[in-house]
Structure formats: structure tokens, C-alpha cells
Amino acid sequence: MKKALFCLALCCLVVQAFAQRFNIIPAPVELYEQPGEFIIDKSVVIVAPSAGTQLDSTLQWFSDRIATATGFHLKTAKTGTKVLRIVLSQADKQEGYKLKVTPTEITLKAPSPAGVFYGLQTLLQLLPPDIESSQPIERIWSVPCTDIIDYPRFGWRGLMLDVSRHFYTKEEVKRYIDEMARYKYNIFHWHLSDDNGWRIEIKSLPELTKVGAWRVARTGRWGTFESPQPGEPAKEGGFYTQEDIKEILAYAQARYITVLPEIDVPAHSLAMIAAYPNLSCTQLHYNVNPGSHFYKKEDNALCIGNDSVYLVLDKVFTEIAALFPFNYIHVGGDEAYKGFWDNCPKCRKRMEQENLKNVDELQSYFVKRLEKILRSKGKKLIGWDEILEGGLAPEATVMSWRGMKGGIEAAKMNHHVVMSPWEYCYLDLYQGDPAAEPPTYGMCRLSDSYNYDPVPDGVDEKYILGGQGNLWTESIANYRHIQYMTWPRALALSEVYWSPKAKRNWNKFVQRMEVHFVRFDTAHIKYSRSAWNAIVKPSKDNNGQLSVQLSTEIKGLDIYYTFDNSDPDNMYPQYTGQPLVFPAGAANLSIVTYHDGKKVGELLTVGKEELLKRLKDN
């Protein structure tokens, strides 16, 4: 009996040791653990076929990454005693790879340079977190021995960055692309225009950037800002020149990321209309909006009855089509207020000429006409799910954001779909209790992102291209905040879009993610630990007294609390699962979480009045 218990304990230790060796995100399709390690040192050489510029540049990128943290410059050679061998081989999964690590050789087989790149990203994750260091560290650089077979579930694995609400520099966009690439994302959706700024140079329409790229400066809570005042200078903003665009496109291509440009029309066009007032129904002069409330007050939609609109859009998309190699262009199509169209003589005349019954069909006419413009330039149209209203353009692809419904409807019409439902994929929403978060709106917890599936029941998966996370930046004024809102929810989504559905396991994901937080710390990437904070659910008991139930997303956490306005630690009362009733006179509840005696969550203080307000709002 004692021998059996000893063997069981030994097996548990071995399993635990292996679990600590492999913390890959997104989880591979198959991973077979093997004993031993491959040690990277200055004797390691890369043996690879001469397969052209793309593979050569990928191997140079990897060698540079290794050299930065280790000081070892891996050279290419025909043979060596310790080898990283790259093999291009035939396979169906073009982005897939096979990685085999033994004590003397690492072999990476893939059908394409993209597959090699993803295999190298996995190899970097097998190295210690110190590999993210920006300067050489003296240590043993070991790679655990393993056999990995891997390929993505979906071909569309994207993140969207809104650069209209706040402008981010060329270097910051590149950094975002780098951070995406670590987790095998392959689509960068670039939201380049909106009511709050036009961000791309169009040489034939210089006013778009001369006027549309700039607005008056405001700081504070978006949506509450004062409107531009007469004579106030518009100095906040910026734009990307076409040379900037080409540079970023080349940078993304080297990391096997395709860039999807978005010009949001017919609504969300106030920056364009500020530059060219004749394009709206009212033809009034408007300023680029700085974040003040204007919806339904100012006309931010293009006039669909005005032929000049289509001439301008033809110029815009001619230059965009020439710049961006992707076969898709995103045209927005969302949140159009149709009241100005209803009262516009030109729009009414267009409806009469085209036998359109209502303004929904008028928008559908616009999208179908825009699709013809894009097709003439060799491009395909993709838009938000509002493009379904009034009838879908013949070859349009739908990006479903208002839940899954629009995507389901489009897929059942045999149209391709990219799923990005806001409640699972919007990275600008609260990640945890608003009392401990920067102000925003809505809620999308880490577990929400991880547990959703892009393929709804009853839908043929062949019409679901994949999905993406969307980061709108109304409340995000700097790059560190971008990182905080993106990570770790984008870790969760990377696994949703890459890994087999059957491989997903929330508890194991959390364990692996903790290791990636160490990598983030080393790389100076900001991230959120909101999933480790307590969840506060207010209610009223039978006597009408306010009570609170506490829980956590992460299992196994201990919750400590106080009502006396002091900051609790693990020497304070521990929550036992029973509802807490506010004592007489108490105004605040303060909560903190621990795991194995270590503080893991942020201190969270919620006022009694705030909890009563939440009850009323719900």
C-alpha cells in the first residue's frame, strides 16, 4: 500500500513538472511530452532550405529575437552538432507546422513560411520568460523535449484597433502588430476613419487630412466633452501618410499579418463631412467631433442621393485599393441615423428613382453601389451586420457585432461571416467590477471571451471565416491603456480562433496565462488582472436590507472583506459564501482576493449607494 501511494505521489510530481514545462497559448492541436531538454547556446546552427526572401527574413527575425535576450547569434549552416532544422514539406494546412524537440536537434516542418513563423512563435514560448528581455541575460536557455502537431481552426484570426477616436503613432501600431503576432493572429483590422478623425492620406482629396485629421483638444470622460468653440484651434490628431501605410504593411507582412483597412460609411463620417461639407444632406459646416454628444443633432451620414458622394468615394477607394493588397475592404455600414435622409430632397428623389420603399432599402442601395465600386478595383466588400438591413449586397461578407444574430442570418444566406459579437469580443468593455476599472461601458469578462464559440448551432462552419476582438478607443488615450484593455482577453480569443474547441479548458488556460503574465512583465507589456478580482452581486433580503454575494471568475481564490473603510488583507474576515448584509452605518464594502496566501486581485471598494444604484438600473 505504501509503495502504491509513493508511486502515485511520484506520478503526480512528474505530471506537475511536465505541466510547468508547457504553457503554450493558443493551445496546440496535439502535444506529446518527452523527457529531456535541448539547450540553446552559441553552438546551435540553423539548417534550412534556400526558399526565398520570405523564409530567409523569418529566420533572420528569429535569430535576432534569440540574440536580443541570450546574446547567441544563430548562424545558418549545412550541418552542426546542435541543429534547428527547418523543413518545408507538403501539407493541407498551410498555416500548420510540426515541431519536434530532442536533446540534440529541433526539427520544424511546415508547408509554408507562415507555418514556419507560427512554429517559431511556439518555440519561443517553450523558452523561459526571460526570452522576452530587451538585453542579454546569462542563464541556461533550455527547451523541453516534445512533439507538437499544430494548425489553426479558423483562417481569420483578427484584432481591430480604432485609431480615429485617438491617434496612435506609426511605432505604436507596429508594436501592436508585434504583440498580435506572438499569439498567431493573422488579421489586423485598422479602423482608419470615423466622426472623430480621418487618419489616412488620400492624395486626390487633401482636405481629408488637412481638416479631417484634427480636432480640438479635450481630456476626461468621452461623450461629456464641450463642443468646439468658435475660433478654437484644432491641434489634436494626426494621420498616416501613404509612405507610412506602406511601411506598416511591410512590417505586418513580415509577421504574416494581413491588414484590413476600414473606411466607415455612410454614417460615422463627420470627419469626412468636416472636410467636404457638401457630402451631407444638410451641407452645413461641422467640426471634427472631439468626443461631445452630437448624435442626431449633427448630420454625420453621407447623402445617398448626392452623386458627388460616389465620386469622392471612388477616389478614396481607388487609392486605398492600390495601397492595401488584401482582397477585402471594410466599409463600416453601422449605426446610421436615417432621420436626415428621410427629410432630404435628394435622398427622397433617389428612393423614388430606384423604387426603394424605406430608408433601410436606401442604405442597402448605397452598400450595393459601393460593392460595385470595390469590385471594379478587384476588391470584396465587408461591413458590420447593419448592411443586412434592407437587403444584403450580392457578394458581401458580414462582420457580426450586435451579437451572433446577424452572422447567423448571413451564413444561412450562404454569405461568409466574421464573428465579433460585442458581449464576447469587444475589448473596450469593462473586464471586472467598474469600481476597480478605468471608466467605460458594458461588461466583457475574460471568461466571456474564452467560453464563446464563433460557430452557432445550426450554422454550417464553412461560412464562418473566423472572428476577431475589437478595440474601440473612445476611452483609451494612450498606448499603455491599449495594452491593458487588449491583454489578457486577446489571449483568450487567440485560443478560441486557433485551438480545437475540444482542447479548450478554462482552468488550464488560467494556469498557462499566469506564466504569460511573467512574459508580459519581462516585455513591459501592460495587462489586466481583473479576472482575479471579486465579483460583487447586490440584492435585497426579505427585510429589504441590502446584501451582497461575492464570487470570482478564477476558481480557488479566497476573498477577504471589511465594512470599516480599512484595506483588508488575509488577516481580515474571510467570505464563506453566505450573503453579506451591510451593518448599520456602513457606507463601503472593501474586498481583496488571495491565492495560497498571496494577494492576487486588486483592492476593490464599492459604496452602498453605488450598489443600490446597480440594483435600480438592473
Active site residues: 335
Side-chain-facing half-sphere of 266: CA atoms under 13 Å:
32
Q: Give yes or no for a contact between 135 and 68, defined as CB atoms under 8 angstroms apart.
A: yes
Cα–Cα distance, 401 to 383 (Å, whole number): 10
Nine cell digits for residue 521: 512583465
| Measured distance CA(574)–CA(515) in Å, rounded | 27
Provide the angle, in degrees to the nearest 10, between the axes of the packed helices 242-254 and 53-70.
Answer: 80
Per the CB < 8 A criterion, the answer to whether 548 and 579 are in contact is yes
* Neighbour count for residue 245 (Cβ, 10 Å): 23
Q: Are 165 and 509 in contact (CB under 8 A)?
A: no
All 3 cell numbers of residue 116? 514556419
Number of H helices, E strands in the chain: 18, 26
Between the two ends of the chain, the Cα-to-Cα distance in Å is 57
267 exposure class (CB count in 10 Å sphere: 0-12, 13-18, 19+): buried
> Which H helix or E strand runs over 396?
none
Q: Is the peptide bond before 421 cis (omega within 30 degrees of 0)?
A: no
Q: Hunting for cell 492541436 — which residue is that?
A: 29
Query: How many Å apart are CA 195 and CA 567, to the nearest integer?
Result: 43
**DSSP letter (8 states) at residue 504:** -
Distances (CA, A) of 196 to 6, 84, 298, 410: 66, 49, 13, 30
* Contact assessment for residue 359 and residue 338, using Cβ atoms and an 8 Å cutoff: yes
CA–CA distance, 28 with 26 (Å, rounded to integer) = 6
Q: How many Cβ atoms from other residues are within 10 Å of residue 339's Cβ?
A: 13
Closest CA to 509 of 183, 154, 257: 183
CA-to-CA distance for 504 and 451, rounded, in angstroms? 8
Query: Which residues, other chains included, contact 349 with Cβ-Cβ below 8 Å and sequence gap of 6+?
Result: 305
**Which residue in 406, 402, 413 sits closest to 388, CA to CA?**
406
